[in-house]
Amino acid sequence: MSEPKPERTLSIRWIVSGAAIALTAITVLAVSFVGERNARSALTRELQTRVLLEARNLAMTSSRALLSEFPELTLGPIIAEMSEDRVHLEQTAVVDLERLIRGHANARRIGDPYSLPDRALPVETTVGLMPGEQMLADDEILIAAAPVRHPQGHHIGTAYVSFPRDYVSSVLAEARRAQLLLVALMLAIGIVVAPLYMAHLLRPIGALREGLERIGRGDFDSPVRLQDRTEFGLLARTMNRMASGLRDAQEQKVERERLSHEVELAREIQSSLLPDADVAADGFTIDGSHHAAAEVGGDIWDVFPLEGGRTGIAIADVSGKGLAGCLVTSMLSALLRAFRNEESSPSALLARLERHLPLRSGTFITMFYGILDPAEGSLVFASAAHNPLLVRRADTGKNEWYRTQGIPIGAVKGGALARTLRDERISLRPGDVLVQYTDGINEAFELSGELQFGLERLQEATAAGADGGPRRVIHNIRRSLEEWTGDQPPLDDETLLVVRYDGVVAATPGTGEAAPANAPAELPIDSMDPLQVLEKSRAANHHCTLPADLDQLHELRGWIESCPGFSALKECELAIAETAVYEVCANITEHGYGSRSDARMDVWWLPQSPNADDPPAGPGLRGHFVILDAGKPFLPQDDPVDLHDPGVRRRGRGLGLEIVREVMRRVSYNPGTPAGNITLLAFDSSKPRAKETSHG
């Protein structure tokens, strides 16, 4: 990399020196000009005074001479002597009353009439003139006239004395010469001295510049060493403080990045432990949600299949936060999955977890673990000091709270936990909803920071959404919680686990109603790999190919009607099946394919029956619609829309997936398989619809 060419800098040394010298010169010249003007006026006045005094003097001296017979003999030498005082002799004379010259330096002018120069005019003067006195001047000379008086006082003649005017100019010119010489000398000294002195003053700039360059290179440890009592010293101290401030800030930034990376890692580990939402389990619909606090907390929820068609559900809150809490959580999750089939009693499982978790003193876990049995319609659970379980009964609308005596895992050493735990059993009826949660939910503070969300509000939000299934319940609780807390970020992890007992749907055709418990487990296809389902669909060969074009999707109707079993369905059931499949295809067309016009998708119908070619007719028709597309995988909108909100109704959007979810028993979108994106829709014409399942 080449060094950037340094920009031309203007030197402060030359700028300041030049300005100082120019200012000095201007000042001196201005002062000289004013001084000379004043001097000229003073000198002029002095000259006038002097010439007048000379005239008076001559007049006095001439008084007696004029009365003598030959006044010229006395006056001639007196006037000639005056030339030594620079008097202009030509116009210096003593005249009598007839204005004839009676005294003059030149004896030949005696007796001549005296005349003033033609252009001589009286001048204004500040010198006090006495009666009979006059001050006259032309360009070259100044003339003062004083009356010569008889000793008895009457006027007998006039004495004229004249001076050359250039006397003043010559005096001033001399003074000016001396002054200019002095100015020139001073400027010469200034030109040499000022830049040198400025260079001396500006010397610290070099050190400061080097210091800044070091800071620029990231070297914050070499301070600028400058002993200077001017502002530069202050600047150097400020720079050193800045460097150490930058060093601290950089260290903090590195630390923050490291921590943030750690937290991100912890968050990733934690979210990888959480199951996908909307888990399918035989006889139950299960959903959960997890909202992490800014600092990674230690909440976890989990759902997994157990032997004998049962399902395990767990929710736990680890007391530690950050990476440490996260490690405990991931260990807990791994151990839970390892032991799940080895302990049939929830309390035994919790006690076993405690024995295997290397918990440090002060770290403890509150945990709820339950086993759902679809055949019995029951939940057997144990709780290690976790929040009470809410059961919302579908038939009576009653809310039941189940509290237990267990202490937290890790709270007391020496196996005390096992003595406090007890398995509880709850019988469930179809439609019953179970809600478990961590204290981030019920202990969330409202905006003012005084009141907690509490169990009452949790119960209300559950009641309002119970008919809509776990997803609706979670949506309601989340919305209610967000209204409660406002815009504050969550202080603790907020985790929810909601289960609805659906009962077991009869495999026998024709009933169209939820079957009583003890019916055989059904729809084994739910647990199959989507690629296997696709394989089976290809073999069954009830297939159509559709262009990814909203205008062409109407072809679905004819094809669905041609699929085995559908011709026997009621018109409204057929219409609703078509709408649901259409919505999925429209979603793929819009979001997966965008505007590609050549794109296509494949749809299969895979009947679910012991004998696929002979499906049960009419109500009870079950099977899968399998949709394969090669578009861009996308995230389906997951939040249920709340139609009670007029704003949502005005937008009129987001209903598609609601329809699909209500119509289909199960929906699963499997993007990016080797075959493409596979969407599985489990259709069951006997599925209890929202309206029919609303109890109480």
Partner 1 sequence: MADDIQITEIESGAHARVLRISGRLDAKNAQALVGRCHELRDRGTTNVIVNLKEISFVASSGIGSLLALTETFKDANGALRLVELSSAVSSVVEILNLGQFLEIAATEDEALAAIGV
- Contacts with partner 1, residue ranges (CB under 8 A): 550-551, 553-554, 557, 571-573, 575-576, 578-579, 582-583, 586, 643, 646, 649-656, 658-659, 662-663, 689-691
CB under 8 Å to 565, separation ≥6 — which residues?
607, 615, 616, 617, 621, 623
Toward partner 1, which CB reaches closer, 306 or 690? 690
User: 3-class SS at 674?
Assistant: coil
Q: How far is the CB of 573 from partner 1 (least distance, A)?
A: 7
Q: How far is the CB of 579 from partner 1 (least distance, A)?
A: 6
Say how far apart CA 688 and CA 692 lie, in whole Å.
6
Quick one: tokens of 17? 């020196």
What is the number of alpha carbons within 13 Å of residue 289 lying toward its C-beta? 17
Q: How far is the CB of 517 from partner 1 (least distance, A)?
A: 26
Cβ-contact 637, 623 below 8 angstroms: no
User: 3-class SS at 537?
Assistant: helix
**459 secondary structure, DSSP code:** H
Toward partner 1, which CB reaches closer, 531 or 643? 643
Q: How far is the CB of 570 from partner 1 (least distance, A)?
A: 8
CB under 8 Å to 687, separation ≥6 — which residues?
505, 663, 664, 665
Toward partner 1, which CB reaches closer, 275 or 618? 618
Say how far apart CA 64 and CA 150 lie, in whole Å.
8
- Nearest CA to 313 out of 330, 291, 336, 331 is that of 336
Toward partner 1, which CB reaches closer, 180 or 643? 643
Quickly tell me which residue has 């009457």 as its tokens.
154
Specify burial of residue 549 (Cβ count, 10 A radius: 0-12, 13-18, 19+).
middle
Q: How far is the CB of 351 from partner 1 (least distance, A)?
A: 46
User: 3-class SS at 253?
Assistant: helix
Q: How far is the CB of 503 from partner 1 (least distance, A)?
A: 20
DSSP alpha helix (H) spans, 68-124:
71-82
Q: How far is the CB of 399 from partner 1 (least distance, A)?
A: 23
Toward partner 1, which CB reaches closer, 447 or 575? 575
Q: How far is the CB of 642 from partner 1 (least distance, A)?
A: 11
Toward partner 1, which CB reaches closer, 354 or 578? 578
Is the dihedral angle over the CA atoms 164, 166, 170, 171 positive or is it negative? positive
Q: How far is the CB of 306 from partner 1 (least distance, A)?
A: 33
Total Cβ atoms within 10 A of residue 169: 12
Cβ-contact 585, 553 below 8 angstroms: yes
- Nearest CA to 412 out of 361, 349, 348 is that of 361
Toward partner 1, which CB reaches closer, 253 or 689? 689
311-318, strands of its sheet edge to edge: 299-305, 311-318, 365-373, 378-384, 424-427
Toward partner 1, which CB reaches closer, 36 or 549? 549
Cβ-contact 462, 476 below 8 angstroms: yes
Toward partner 1, which CB reaches closer, 116 or 690? 690
Toward partner 1, which CB reaches closer, 258 or 689? 689
Q: How far is the CB of 357 from partner 1 (least distance, A)?
A: 46
Toward partner 1, which CB reaches closer, 200 or 653? 653
Toward partner 1, which CB reaches closer, 458 or 576? 576
Q: How far is the CB of 684 from partner 1 (least distance, A)?
A: 14
Please provide the size of the chain in residues: 696
**592 secondary structure, DSSP code:** I
User: 3-class SS at 696?
Assistant: coil
Concatenated DSSP letters for 138-196?
-SSEEEEEEEEE-TTS-EEEEEEEEEETHHHHHHHHHHHHHHHHHHHHHHHHHHHHHHH
Cβ-contact 312, 340 below 8 angstroms: yes
* One-letter amino acid of 555: E
Toward partner 1, which CB reaches closer, 493 or 578? 578
The alpha carbon of 371 is separated from its chain's Cα centroid by a whole number of angstroms, namely 49
Toward partner 1, which CB reaches closer, 303 or 663? 663
Name the phi and psi angles at 103, rounded to 5: -150, 130
Q: How far is the CB of 663 from partner 1 (least distance, A)?
A: 7
Q: How far is the CB of 269 from partner 1 (least distance, A)?
A: 38
Q: How far is the CB of 606 from partner 1 (least distance, A)?
A: 23
Q: How far is the CB of 475 from partner 1 (least distance, A)?
A: 15
**126 secondary structure, DSSP code:** S
Q: What is the CA radius of gyration of the chain?
A: 59
Name the phi and psi angles at 367, rounded to 5: -150, 140
Toward partner 1, which CB reaches closer, 557 or 695? 557
Toward partner 1, which CB reaches closer, 282 or 583? 583
Toward partner 1, which CB reaches closer, 71 or 640? 640
Q: How far is the CB of 646 from partner 1 (least distance, A)?
A: 6
Quickly tell me which residue has 């790999």 as its tokens.
529
Cβ-contact 297, 321 below 8 angstroms: yes
Q: How far is the CB of 638 from partner 1 (least distance, A)?
A: 16
- Nearest CA to 579 out of 657, 671, 666 is that of 657
Say how far apart CA 201 and CA 669 lie, in whole Å.
77
* Secondary element (H or E) of residue 54: helix 12-67
Specify burial of residue 301 (Cβ count, 10 A radius: 0-12, 13-18, 19+).
buried
